[in-house]
Amino acid sequence: MRYHIRLPPAWPEEGFTIVDAEGGAYRLARQRLGTEEATVIEDASGRRVAKMHFPESHGPYVCEILHDGKRLLVSSDTYYRRIRYHIAVRGRRHGCASVLAAQGNILRDDYVVRRGLRRLATVKRKGTVGGEALSVETVPGADHVVLLSIVLAISVITRSQRSAALGAGGGTETTRRPGHQQNQPDATT
């Protein structure tokens, strides 16, 4: 299944939709759930299908996704000038964890999400008149809500890291991680 995600420059302040090839859509919106602020993914009927948030207890560049009894932690791992993302998935059954990985040219939004050698999703950046957009193609039978949430988390974390790097070097960047104060020292430094 192919999806089209338009990333507005001021996300997450602006909500937006994810549209599939058949015209179905998911809507993303910021909501206050209890004491935390989260991004909620709703289907076309308005039913909440996933929740994404960035818990400060896990560090500045980690996203937690809750969907269908699964808890995913998306985190970046930078080494030797390569950026990879590890996605730990904990499910209802036996609490066992499986690990997914996002590999490729993450900074240019040209990568794949894999479980072992199996490719689950392919992500490509598309230029549009109104800004940037992502094309996400998932394999049949894969949980597309989870994969779309992972792609969005990677997009937000990557833009946050880029923003922090530009801020430290005097550059400017308009997007940032939800709930993260720009140009504030990290708790881990």
- Per-residue pLDDT tens over the stretch 110-158: 999 999 899 999 999 987 666 678 899 999 999 999 999 999 888 888 8
Q: What is the pLDDT of the chain when averaged over all its residues?
A: 77
In the chain, where the domains are located: 2-168
For residue 149, give the H/E element and its range: helix 144-168
Least confident of 32-46, 133-147, 174-188: 174-188
Under CATH, which number does the domain 2-168 receive? 2.40.160
Single pTM value for the model = 0.77
Q: From CA 20, how far away is CA 3, in angstroms rounded?
A: 4
Provide the pLDDT for residue 62. 87
Residue matched to tokens 């720009």? 182
